Amino acid sequence: MKNVKGVPQSRPLFRQVYDNILNRMERGEWRTDDKLPSIRMLAEELKVHRLTVFKAYRLLSEEGKVYVRDKSGYYVSADGVLSSELEEGSFVSSYTISNSLSDIHRIQAKYQFSQALIDPNLLPNIYLSDYVKKVFDLYPKVMGTYASIQGDDELRESLSQHFREHHRLQLSSEELLITSGAQQAINLIAQMMLRPMDTVLIERPTYSVAMDIFRRQGARLIPVLITPEGYDLVEVEALMREHKPRMFYMNPTHHNPTGYTVPAWQRKLLVELAERYHCLLVEDDPFRDMYFEEEPPLPLFAYDTEGWVIYISSFSKYIAPGLRICAVACRYPFMEQLIKAKSLADNGTPQLNQKIFLHYYTSPRLQRHLDKLRIALQVHKEIMEEELALAGWEWTAPKGGLNLWVKLPGDISADLLFRKSIEQSISFVPGEICDPLGELKSWIRLSFSFANEIDLREGMQRLTALSRTL
Ligand SMILES: Cc1ncc(COP(=O)(O)O)c(C=O)c1O
């Protein structure tokens, strides 16, 4: 694969074929002693040269994950996939294997800076319980039937109106699908739109779960650097021209993990590029409403007239992560495909959750909650920034979101700091797992939204003191 000037090169093509084969072995498509497709067949399926497949098979065979039978072909070894995971050994490798972020979140910590979630004490839990009662009064049979696959009509109507009025999205309720969280939306999009070896542009760094989902689908990921100024559009265009990606997955507003926001002028141009190169823009936008002073630029979807943007708007973060309510906006024929995928996934998001959400979302309480929440989040962010400044760490102050993306001072390794921090009950996300290239070893993501103010200050003091001992 050729390298585009100035762009970090992704894994060599034969390595991507290797990943694809391993993924499929892991998923059980090929089991122990199964015969693998011939080099010619796999090369045709993946649209690569036969030599590329040969190199991938050779590497798998050298590593003992497959074996060769004379004149017959390649076969899956007894425990090839398992041994590949165990061999890695180091701490970082063991959490970069599959859904790495969730592995980190399972670690219990008093000073919780790894979860990009809001402290439940800042969420409207008490009010939501009022709506549970109301929903049962209004719809006594709400649990006695299946929900519609596309999502509750009233909810879609109300959200489409909200998107029209607040974000200038030209939308009808028919162009909205309710999913169980943004994560499910990304998963459905990947399942419907991606075939093995399709190319996906992805921000560097990025939301690591999305990376895991695309990889599991067998996609080739090509990183696009995101900076406080947005993307380098010359590079984005070069990548689109050269690699003809199926999609560009992006989180352009208060981006996870960096907090950066892509400026309005780039949004318009990105939509033009998507139209020119027939590349879907998957715009994941869960942090839009969590701004500190000024509202962010309009979503890319607002500039899209040809249907090249799929817009994902999750309400998990600031209303109720437990309700798992997210809206996906897109045009036909993509909407038809997504509805099909949703029907296969779970036949519709639970109706009860949708109704509770609808009644809260359309109440005047929502605005009051958001106003208070924005102030609380800004206070949290400032506490974390004060402690970082005292320690001389570097970051770019975000205009919204839940995280700070921090460069560690000197040559401190995020991996080492992580291991030492866990011993002191402090957790954060090492930058490496947000990087499609698995580098960025001196960066970390610190979420300021989950810990309370006291733990936030105390935990940051402990973390920065700990770093001085390394
Ligand atoms: C960019 C991004 N997309 C999607 C999600 C998942 O959202 P949900 O809880 O709606 O599945 C997250 C959660 O952190 C996220 O940061």
User: Is residue 36 exposed (0-12), middle (13-18) or buried (19+ Cβ within 10 Å)?
Assistant: buried
Q: What's the 192 CA to ligand 1 centre distance in angstroms?
A: 19
* 290 pLDDT more than 50: yes
Residue-level pLDDT at 4? 36
Higher-pLDDT residue of 147, 355:
355
Give the number of the atom of ligand 1 that is nearest the alpha carbon of residue 207.
1
Could you tell me which residues come within 8 angstroms of residue 453 by beta carbon, excluding any fewer than 6 positions away?
379, 380, 383
Residue whose CA is at the smallest distance from ligand 1 atom 2: 207
Residue-level pLDDT at 447? 98
* 257 pLDDT more than 70: yes
Give the number of the atom of ligand 1 that is nearest the alpha carbon of residue 255.
1
How would you classify the pairing of strands 429-430 and 426-427? unpaired
Cβ neighbour number for residue 320 with a 10 Å cutoff: 19
How would you classify the pairing of strands 73-76 and 443-447? unpaired
Residue whose CA is at the smallest distance from ligand 1 atom 16: 256
Residue whose CA is at the smallest distance from ligand 1 atom 4: 182
* Alpha carbon distance 175, 182 (integer Å): 16
* Alpha carbon distance 426, 412 (integer Å): 17
* 129 pLDDT more than 90: no
Q: What's the 314 CA to ligand 1 centre distance in angstroms?
A: 7
Q: What's the 401 CA to ligand 1 centre distance in angstroms?
A: 12
* 81 pLDDT more than 60: no
Q: What's the 327 CA to ligand 1 centre distance in angstroms?
A: 12
Q: What's the 127 CA to ligand 1 centre distance in angstroms?
A: 23
pLDDT level of residue 196 (50, 70, 90 thresholds): confident
* 85 pLDDT more than 70: no
Give the number of the atom of ligand 1 that is nearest the alpha carbon of residue 314.
10
pLDDT level of residue 288 (50, 70, 90 thresholds): very high
Q: What's the 250 CA to ligand 1 centre distance in angstroms?
A: 12
Residue-level pLDDT at 22? 86
Give the number of the atom of ligand 1 that is nearest the alpha carbon of residue 116.
14
Cβ neighbour number for residue 43 with a 10 Å cutoff: 18
Residue-level pLDDT at 163? 97
* 90 pLDDT more than 80: no
Q: What's the 185 CA to ligand 1 centre distance in angstroms?
A: 10
Residue whose CA is at the smallest distance from ligand 1 atom 14: 116
Q: Which CATH architecture has domain 92-117+367-468?
A: Alpha-Beta Complex (3.90)
* 8 pLDDT more than 70: no
Q: What's the 450 CA to ligand 1 centre distance in angstroms?
A: 15
* 370 pLDDT more than 70: yes
Q: Of 90, 77, 91, 94, which is closest to residue 34 (Cα–Cα)?
A: 77
Q: What's the 45 CA to ligand 1 centre distance in angstroms?
A: 32
Of 207, 283, 349, 449, best ligand 1 pocket probe by most atoms within 8 Å of the beta carbon: 207
Of 112, 202, 256, best ligand 1 pocket probe by most atoms within 8 Å of the beta carbon: 256
Q: What's the 325 CA to ligand 1 centre distance in angstroms?
A: 11
Residue-level pLDDT at 27? 67
Coil, strand, or helix at residue 249? Answer: strand
Q: What's the 44 CA to ligand 1 centre distance in angstroms?
A: 35
* 325 pLDDT more than 90: yes
CATH 1.10.10.10 describes domain 13-87 = yes
Give the number of the atom of ligand 1 that is nearest the alpha carbon of residue 321.
9
Residue whose CA is at the smallest distance from ligand 1 atom 13: 116
- The 10s digit of each residue's pLDDT in 394-445 is 999 999 999 999 999 988 999 999 999 999 999 999 999 999 999 999 999 9
Q: Can you give the residue ranges of every domain in the chain?
A: 13-87, 92-117+367-468, 126-363
Work out the average pLDDT over 297-322.
Answer: 96
Residue-level pLDDT at 9? 52
Residue pair 249/194 in contact by the 8 Å Cβ criterion: no
Q: For residue 456, give the H/E element and its range.
A: helix 453-468
Q: Which CATH class for the 126-363 domain?
A: alpha beta
Which residues lie with the beta carbon below 6 Å from any ligand 1 atom? 116, 181-183, 207, 251, 256, 284, 286, 314, 316, 321, 326
Q: Of 44, 329, 42, which is closest to residue 160 (Cα–Cα)?
A: 329
Looking up tokens 């209004």, which residue turns up? Answer: 138
Work out the average pLDDT over 182-205.
Answer: 96
Higher-pLDDT residue of 79, 402:
402
Question: 156-170: b or e for each residue (b if 16 or more CB lie within 10 Å)?
Answer: bebbbebbeeebebe
Q: State how far the alpha carbon of 272 is from the alpha carbons of 180, 182, 203, 226, 238, in Å.
A: 30, 25, 18, 19, 14
Of 113, 183, 254, 318, best ligand 1 pocket probe by most atoms within 8 Å of the beta carbon: 183
Looking up tokens 């072909």, which residue turns up? Answer: 73
How would you classify the pairing of strands 199-204 and 111-112? unpaired
Give the number of the atom of ligand 1 that is nearest the alpha carbon of residue 251.
1
Q: What's the 322 CA to ligand 1 centre distance in angstroms?
A: 13
